[in-house]
Amino acid sequence: MYEFNGSKRNSCIFGYKHHLLQRHRHYEDENEWGCGSWLEYTFVVVCASILLLGSLGLTLFWVIQYRGGFAWRDEPAKEFNLHPVLMVAGFITFSGFSILLYRICRCCRRIYVKLLHTIFHALAIPCIAVGFLTVLDSHNLANPPIANFYSLHSWIGFVTMGLFAIQFVVGFFSFLILLCCEGATAGFRAALVPIHASFGLTTFMLAIAAALTGLTEKAIFTLKNRYSLREEEAIIINTIGMSLIALAIIISYILQREEFRFRAHILIRSGDL
């Protein structure tokens, strides 16, 4: 009786896997695009990648060319220059690429994409931590000291850091550690995916809002009347801001386009594979 039941169970499992494989092939057939779809996909992904790297490059150029470069605690004003560069690197560039991975790595196994997603977020952590410490140092060591957490920029940044930390902890626990007991947690992880994705996009948009308010605050405080005269530094600052706005638009567009998601990922997300 035991052997019969075992054989019957294996047969059912084989039949279910065959059914899923057929559905997977069906979705793969649906996922074959025409030339126009591939051109659209390539264009928006390349534009997003250029903007992610370009915003960091422009920030580096601005700080080195117009703000005097970098220093540590002996020069608080130059120590502050680490703050915008590291925050853009962590919150925008690394986090942006970690989001794009789910659209770029269309042919990779999902577990590999998850690992790369986690690695990019892990790279962002030291950037954000050091960037946060440098702004505190530069404020506290200034003569006279500058107050902390009084501006809208600082409030948005603080909320963004909190959401980022929660996202990383929940994502690491749910999508990596719980894979050790994959069968028992599949339903829970599938239900958590849209929540994790929504809050991930929200965190990214808040990071852009924090960057925009920070750029405006810095421009007004340091350039003063020269900002309204549209000097070269003012144009550079505004260009960084516009690149971040363009990035927010294009990342949102990429994530909202259901066609850009690999069909196998849709099946896995829904618990079918």
Range(s) of the domain holding residue 50: 31-269
Q: For residue 104, what is the domain's CATH number?
A: 1.20.120.1770
Residue pLDDT, tens place only, 61-70: 999 999 999 9
One-letter identity of residue 126? P
Going from the C-alpha of 35 to that of each of 47, 102, 263, the distances in angstroms are 18, 21, 18
Instruction: With respect to residue 15, please indicate whether it lies within any of the assigned structural domains.
Output: no
Instruction: With respect to residue 5, please indicate whether it lies within any of the assigned structural domains.
Output: no
Instruction: With respect to residue 98, please indicate whether it lies within any of the assigned structural domains.
Output: yes
Instruction: With respect to residue 67, please indicate whether it lies within any of the assigned structural domains.
Output: yes
Instruction: With respect to residue 8, please indicate whether it lies within any of the assigned structural domains.
Output: no
Q: What is the DSSP string of the chain?
A: -HHHHHHHHHHHHHHHHHHHHHHHHHHHHHT---HHHHHHHHHHHHHHHHHHHHHHHHHHHHHHHHS-----TTSHHHHHTHHHHHHIIIIIIIHHHHHHHHHH-SSS-HHHHHHHHHHHHHHHHHHHHHHHHHHHHHHHSSSSPPPSS-SHHHHHHHHHHHHHHHHHHHHHHHHTGGGGGHHHHHHHHHHHHHHHHHHHHHHHHHHHHHHHHHHHHHHHHHHTHHHHTT-HHHHHHHHHHHHHHHHHHHHHHHHH-GGGS-HHHHHHHTT--
Listed range (18-32, 68-82, 244-258) with the worst mean pLDDT: 18-32
**Is residue 28 over pLDDT 60?**
no
Q: Measure the CA–CA gap between 82 and 76, rounded to whole angstroms.
A: 10
Going from the C-alpha of 99 to that of each of 41, 102, 154, 188, the distances in angstroms are 15, 6, 24, 21
Q: Would you state the pLDDT for residue 3?
A: 45
Total domains in the chain come to 1
Among 11-15, 119-123, 205-209, 253-257, name the most confident range: 205-209
Instruction: With respect to residue 115, please indicate whether it lies within any of the assigned structural domains.
Output: yes
Instruction: With respect to residue 26, please indicate whether it lies within any of the assigned structural domains.
Output: no
Listed range (112-126, 206-220, 228-242) with the worst mean pLDDT: 112-126
Instruction: With respect to residue 152, please indicate whether it lies within any of the assigned structural domains.
Output: yes
Q: What is the average pLDDT value for the chain, to the nearest integer?
A: 82
**Is residue 113 over pLDDT 90?**
no
Q: What is the DSSP string of 86-128?
A: HHIIIIIIIHHHHHHHHHH-SSS-HHHHHHHHHHHHHHHHHHH
Q: Would you state the pLDDT for residue 30?
A: 45
**Is residue 141 over pLDDT 50?**
yes
Q: Which residues contact 269 (CB under 8 A, 6 or more apart)?
A: 190, 193
Listed range (89-93, 116-120, 213-217) with the worst mean pLDDT: 116-120
**Is residue 111 over pLDDT 80?**
no
Q: Confidence band (pLDDT; 50, 70, 90) for 17?
A: very low
Q: Give me the mean pLDDT over the 48-59 stretch.
A: 97
Q: Would you state the pLDDT for residue 153?
A: 97
What burial letters (b/e) apply to 234-243, b meaning 16+ CB within 10 Å? bebbeebbeb
Residue pLDDT, tens place only, 222-233: 998 888 888 999
**Is residue 11 over pLDDT 50?**
no
Residue pLDDT, tens place only, 143-201: 899 999 999 999 999 999 999 999 888 887 776 666 666 665 667 777 777 888 889 99
Q: Which residue has tokens 């949102």? A: 252
**Is residue 34 over pLDDT 90?**
no
Q: Which residue has tokens 């220093």? A: 71
Query: Do 102 and 261 form a contact (C-beta atoms < 8 A)?
Result: yes
Q: Which residues contact 156 (CB under 8 A, 6 or more apart)?
A: 206, 209, 210, 213
Terminal-to-terminal C-alpha distance of the chain: 31
